[in-house]
Structure 1
Amino acid sequence: MNSIDSDFSGSIPEVYDSHLVPILFEGYAADLAGRVAKADPTAVLEVAAGSGVVPRALASRLSGGCRYVVSDINPAMLECARQRSSEDRLEWREANAMSLPFEDESFDIVLCQFGVMFFPDHIKGFSEILRVLRPGGRFIFNSWGPLETNDFAHIALETLIALYPEDPPLFLARTPYGYGETARIEADLAVAGFKRIRIETVELQSHAGSADDFAFGQTYGSPLRLEIEARGNPPLPQVRAALEKALVARFGMAQITGRMTALVTEAIAS
Structure 2
Amino acid sequence: MDVTPNHIDKTPVGPPSECHETRGAFATLARSYPRGASLGLHAHQEAQLLFAARGVMQATTTRGRWLVPPHRAVWLPSQRPHAVDMLSDIEMRSLYVDPAHVAAHPKAGRLGNEFVVRVAPLLRELILGCFADRRHPERGVALGRLILFELTEAEDPATFIPMPQDPRARRVAELVLAEPDGIRDLEDLAAVAGTSARTVTRLFSQETSLSFRTWRQRARIMAAIEALCGSSPPPVKDLAHRLGFSSTAAFDYAFKQVTGTTPTAFVGKGGG
TM-score interval, normalised by the smaller of the two chains:
under 0.3
TM-score, normalising length: structure 1 = 0.27
Choose between structure 1 and 2: higher helix proportion: 1
**Larger RCO (CA within 8 A; separation ≥ 6):** 1
